[in-house]
Amino acid sequence: MVVSYESIEPHRLDAGMINEIRDVHGRAFAASVVGTEYPATEVAAALTAEASEPGFRLCVARRDTGQLAGFACGYIDFLQRPASGWSKRLADALGQKRYEWLDQQFGFAWFGVHPAFQGNGIGSALHDRLFAEVRCARAWLVCPAHETRLRAFYEHRG
């Protein structure tokens, strides 16, 4: 399978690409034991809002047919901004440590590979490409404790 990778500048994240990401996100999480709290409409709204955040980075993987195979994106978290969702839950759990661990650090927000193409190194390549562009000292993400395979994936990558 031939796959190419591309970093997308925020202004190129148009409605067509958001729909593609939303579709792959839905499929990836439907086939995942992680599950998702985010219905498709929320994914689209969150991506649209995050694209205007400082430090927003998006990498996509496409097959040679043009089909979107996967995506990885994140942005710089600022605690002075009202938090919601995972970001708020994490900040609440960290207490005072939130200022060291979250403020102005990179939040790895959305990551998924179409189930038909998982296990071919696409997720690893997307992750590594995205983080090669991140200049923050720290990054954070949320991963359920029971997801041992996924945790191992992240732990191997620091």
List residues binding ligand COA (CB under 6 A). Answer: 28-29, 32, 34, 111-113, 118-124, 141, 143, 149-150, 152-153
Strands 57-63 and 3-8: antiparallel
Strands 57-63 and 68-77: antiparallel
State which residue has the least CB distance to ligand COA: 123
**Residue 17 and residue 117: Cα distance in Å, rounded?**
19
Query: C-beta of 115: minimal distance to ligand COA in Å?
Result: 7
**Residue 158 and residue 152: Cα distance in Å, rounded?**
10
Between 99 and 144, CB nearer to ligand COA: 144
Query: C-beta of 44: minimal distance to ligand COA in Å?
Result: 17
Between 99 and 133, CB nearer to ligand COA: 133
**Residue 139 and residue 74: Cα distance in Å, rounded?**
9
Query: C-beta of 146: minimal distance to ligand COA in Å?
Result: 11
Query: C-beta of 10: minimal distance to ligand COA in Å?
Result: 21
For residue 128, the surrounding DSSP H or E stretch is: helix 122-132
Between 49 and 116, CB nearer to ligand COA: 116
- CB-CB contact of 10 with 52 (8 Å): yes
